[in-house]
Amino acid sequence: MRAFKWAGGVVLLALLLGAPGARAEENVKPEQIKKMYDDALVQLKAAQDRKAELAKQNEALAAKVAELSKQLAASQSQMQGMQRQIDDQAEKTFYLRSYYAAWQRFLHAHPDVTANWKFYLGHSALSIPRETPDLIDPAWMVDDKLAPG
């Protein structure tokens, strides 16, 4: 309240000193001075209310910025983890591709190993077929006398 009185006094003093010609031409009535003082107080109160409102908004925005900063840090941490996984997978993929290419060159240079390798994998013309024909009748042990019928 002391600030209101002080500010109001400063405004009133400025009004009285700022317009010496107006004071000389017309007499300022105490009611007009009181009205100007009250208007100045209302404007000052409105300015202080707006300042308090802006301070609250600033606090809310600061809290939101802090929350978004935490989310950003978490996202960046997650992104770094994913990037590490991508790098690891790329390294493994490169290793396996280079190893496969070296193996292909080795097989191309050694046809005897290639034949053994294809035989091992079952791609040889001499390999055993995967399906065997039925050479044995599964019902050969069934005795006709014991069979119901």
Taking Cα atoms as reference points, which of 43, 53, 16 lies closest to residue 32? Answer: 16
Owning domain of residue 41: 8-121
Per-residue pLDDT tens digits of the chain, which is 149 residues long? 555 555 556 555 555 555 554 445 578 888 999 999 999 999 999 999 999 999 999 999 999 999 999 999 999 999 999 999 999 999 999 999 999 999 999 999 999 998 888 888 876 566 566 665 566 666 666 655 555 54
Structure tokens at 146: 């014991």
> What are 41's two structure tokens?
């107080």
Angle at CA of residue 43, ends 30 and 51, nearest 5°: 155
Q: What is the pLDDT of residue 27?
A: 82
Instruction: Provide the domain count of the chain.
Output: 1
Rounded Cα–Cα distance for residues 22 and 33 (Å): 13
Is 133 part of any domain?
A: no
pLDDT for residue 55: 97
Residue 46 in any domain: the answer is yes
Specify if 69 maps to a domain: yes
